Amino acid sequence: MDAALLGLMTVVIGVGGCLGYFYFSNLFLDKVLFPATGPNAGRNINRANQIRPWLFVFPAMFALALYLGYPVFETLRLSLTDRDQGGAFVGFANYNQMFAEAKFWEAMRNNMLWLIVVPAASTAFGLLVAQLTDRIGWGNIAKSVIFMPMAISFVGASVIFKLIYDARPEGTAQIGVLNAVWMQFEGGFGSVLFLKVMPVLMLLAFAAVVAYVGYIILRMTGGVWVTLLKAFGGLFAIWMVFLSLKSVLGVATAELPYGEPQNWLTLPFYNNFFLMVVLIWIQTGFAMVILSAALRGIPEETVEAAIVDGANPFQIFFKIKVPQIMPTIVVVWTTITLTVLKVFDIVFAMTNGQWQTQVLANYMYDKLFRANDWGVGSAAAIIIMLLVSPILIWNVYNARKEMR
């Protein structure tokens, strides 16, 4: 059957079925179950009005239970069974096997690295672009260009960046943009400036920002939860500052292979950042749109009062604007975090988890569809769900809190 005709039939049957359900269920409720006639007419009308909303939301609830609820319980059941033993119950054996695999911990480490870099970079770039484009006449054109990657699928973006990172043998023309630029560095002043000094300054700036955030967290006052946050935040800040300073030393002392084309996606550790660039490129447009709307919603009176008090543009931005849109920044951050936790397409299309780039979703795919091990694959899916659920619940809680 022709695909267009099949799609048209699906729409007609789906819409017709929904209309038919609502019409006949309403008719059954009013004419058969609770007829508005006789001595109990008033009571029947009240009962029908109480049941009617549940009758109308039933299809949606049934679909959610079928397509969301059932897979969760079935995945949990499969994670406790072994296919090689005919689906026999094995308890937490699959989880023990998964936790014993180096690839799983590589995936966990990489996912945590993605969680640190991608939401922060996407939100920061989105906020920066939103602020700058609102101050120029052709800002709407710039926003359209920056938002355009959102229309590209993750796989399409991966193909684009795979070409950017492409490497050809030495002595041949490089079609990869990154290698074409890299081949221009020969170890002179420009090479030192762009490949040594600038990365060191960026790492030091990052360490300073992390230290400042850690200082703010340590100054917080409150109950037990705040104390725990201070302890965790302080330790995490110290760890990140240590890693940044260690990286500074590594960059400063590294011997770079000038004049040699690089296979960027096969460089351990650094290849993860080349993959992250793809998602940052896509998600910056999303962050820009949301944060731009939030910035436009700031009352002009607060900005004008700050200007009258002598505040400079940086003080206005960081001390007036950012605090007022902080709830929106958190929503954008957590939304991108959910995307990062489930990232699969980019890694699958560009490296397939090789060269130490494995992530949880790709690990799950490998176990389920390559190794045909539904037990460990389902266990990995449960781990992803457990990581996603707290952020999702927190987002829903905050949304309801703001609605109230």
Look at the block and give the residue holding tokens 């290698």: 179
Tens of pLDDT, residue by residue over 290-346, are 998 888 888 888 888 888 888 888 888 888 888 888 888 888 888 888 888 888 889
Instruction: Find the farthest-apart pair of alpha carbons in the chain and give their distance in angstroms, rounded.
Output: 98
Rounded (10°) angle between helices 326-341 and 270-296: 150
Q: Which residues, other chains included, contact 219 with Cβ-Cβ below 8 Å and sequence gap of 6+? A: none
Look at the block and give the residue holding tokens 């729409």: 11
Res 269: pLDDT: 77
Number of H helices, E strands in the chain: 19, 2
Structural tokens at position 146: 């920056």
Distance CA 154, CA 282 (A): 8
Q: Is the pLDDT of residue 36 over 70?
A: yes
Residue 1's pLDDT band (boundaries 50, 70, 90)?
A: low
Q: Look at residue 82 and give its three-state secondary structure.
A: strand
Contact in structure between 388 and 338 (CB atoms under 8 Å):
yes
Instruction: List the one residue out of 401, 276, 394 whose CA is nearest residue 331.
Output: 394
SS percent in the chain: helix, strand, coil, step 5: 80, 0, 20
Q: 81 has which bridge partners? A: 89
Running DSSP on this structure, what letter comes out for residue 170?
A: T
Give the predicted TM-score (pTM) of the model.
0.77
Residue 187's pLDDT band (boundaries 50, 70, 90)?
A: low
Q: How far is CA 398 from CA 327, 331, 394, in A?
A: 9, 9, 6
Residue 278's pLDDT band (boundaries 50, 70, 90)?
A: very high
Distance CA 125, CA 117 (A): 12
From start to end of 310-387, where are the E strands? none
Res 199: pLDDT: 80
Cβ–Cβ contacts within 10 Å for residue 38, how many? Answer: 7
Tens of pLDDT, residue by residue over 63-122, are 888 888 888 888 888 888 887 777 788 888 888 988 988 888 888 888 888 888 888 889
Buried b (16+ CB within 10 A) or exposed e, 14-37: eeeeeeeeeeebeeebeeeebeee
Q: What is the mean pLDDT of the chain?
A: 83
Q: What is the mean pLDDT of residues 374-390?
A: 86
Running DSSP on this structure, what letter comes out for residue 183?
A: T
Rounded (10°) angle between helices 270-296 and 102-133: 40
